[in-house]
Amino acid sequence: MNHLRVCLIAALVAVSAIPAAPMAKPGPEHARLTAMCGTWAVEMTFWFQPGSPGVATKGTSTIRSLFDGLFVEEKIEGTLNGTPFTTLAWTGFNTATHQYEATRIASTNTIRIAETGSYDEKTGQFELKADYPFAGDTWRQRTVIQIVTADAMIATSYLSFGKVPEWKAVEIKYTRRTK
């Protein structure tokens, strides 16, 4: 017990000797994200299999800034085939890797999707990618977020797994309600 106490005290002393890191400050990459903050009307179309007809629904997206603009949080609420659903996403720009990073979860399944990617100045769009295990296979997701205007954007997610080629699985059209 005394050995544990001595180790704990030594660890606390060592940690307290580390100089405090300067507070992270948002840069222009973060400003791209905070420009999306607000409440949005969303029109969503889902394609559950390649070549299948789309299933359309409407909902609301609320995007808010976290930690003085270092991250944004998005909450989408809607109804699909009469069942309410919610998705949450947290997105930021990692200044060490120079990549955008997003984590997505939904009330419709038990998986967490962690995407990374970049922003293309020429096309005005983000492109993020992820590989994750789901339903006994490795799924690949590619999400493209196109900023159309300050008050409109389109997010499209493409999926593939195994030998199934990539298909357009989700398209979300955003129309800003309020900033």
pLDDT tens, 39-94? 999 999 999 999 999 999 999 999 999 999 999 999 999 998 899 999 999 999 99
Q: Are 114 and 133 in contact (CB under 8 A)?
A: no
For residue 167, CA distances in Å to 28, 41, 59, 68, 157 come to: 32, 25, 23, 37, 9
Decide if pLDDT at 9 tops 90: no
CATH of 26-178, picked from 2.40.128.20, 3.50.50.100, 3.40.710.10, 3.40.640.10, is 2.40.128.20
Q: Which residues pair with 157 in a beta bridge?
A: 143, 170
Whether the per-residue pLDDT at 15 is higher than 70: the answer is: no
Residues 128-151, mean pLDDT to the nearest whole number: 95
pLDDT for the residue 19? 55
pLDDT(99) > 70: yes
Share of the chain above pLDDT 70, in %: 88
Supply the pTM of this predicted model.
0.85
Residues in the chain: 179
Q: Would the pLDDT of 8 be above 50? A: no
The pLDDT score that the predictor gives to residue 12 is 47
DSSP state of 19: P
pLDDT at 106 over 90: yes
Contact (Cβ atoms closer than 8 angstroms) between residue 125 and residue 144: yes
Note the pLDDT of residue 24. 81
State mean pLDDT over 124-149: 95
